[in-house]
Amino acid sequence: MAKISLKVNGHLRVVDTDPDVPLLYVLRNDLGLNGPRFGCGLSQCGACTVIINKKTVRSCMMPVSAVHNQIITTLEGLGSVAHPHPLQKAFVEEQAAQCGFCMNGIVMTAKVLLDANPHPSESEIKQALDDVLCRCGSHLRVVRAIQRAAKEMA
């Protein structure tokens, strides 16, 4: 066990845990952040995506010790029910989620995309989301939601 400091959603959090435990488990079980989801456990589906130092990271395979003192943003860190991030608002307005399981990975990936490219084309959006698995078929609404958020954020 080790004390590991994490900067999560703008707050310094210290956890006493096995340094090799995946970040996903610390976020969900120790910190109560349920935006990142357990999907495949193999870093393939994207349900567990978080943003670390402005890049998407699959938290299911990232040892918590590897992110000591790094800036971590989860879905909860983007906005709140009272003050949603433009992406979150656009996803609701476009009714972009069906089952919602993949939405964490999609929204977090879209956030990094829009931070790097505020005016992505439809093709660039689809390419950015290529590694996030979604089985429910809400892709067209997802693309529209990201385009809506890009306009609102501009």
* β-bridge mates for residue 8, sequence order: 11, 72
Q: What is the pLDDT of residues 47-71, one digit of tens each?
A: 999 999 999 999 999 999 999 999 9
- Residue 125: CB atoms within 10 A of its CB come to 23
Confidence of residue 101 (pLDDT cuts 50, 70, 90): confident
Which option is the CATH number for 2-77: 3.40.30.10, 3.40.50.2000, 3.10.20.30, 3.90.700.10? 3.10.20.30
- Predicted confidence (pLDDT) at residue 154 exceeds the cutoff of 90: no
Fold of 86-153: DNA polymerase; domain 1 (1.10.150)
Mean pLDDT in residue range 95-101:
84
**How many Å apart are CA 22 and CA 41, to the nearest integer?**
10
Domain extents for the chain? Answer: 2-77, 86-153
Nearest to 48, CA basis, from 116, 137, 132:
132
> What's this model's pTM, rounded to 2 decimal places?
0.93
Nearest to 48, CA basis, from 36, 62, 35, 63:
36
Q: What is the pLDDT of residues 21-53, one digit of tens each?
A: 999 999 999 999 999 999 999 999 999 999 999
pLDDT of residue 70: 95
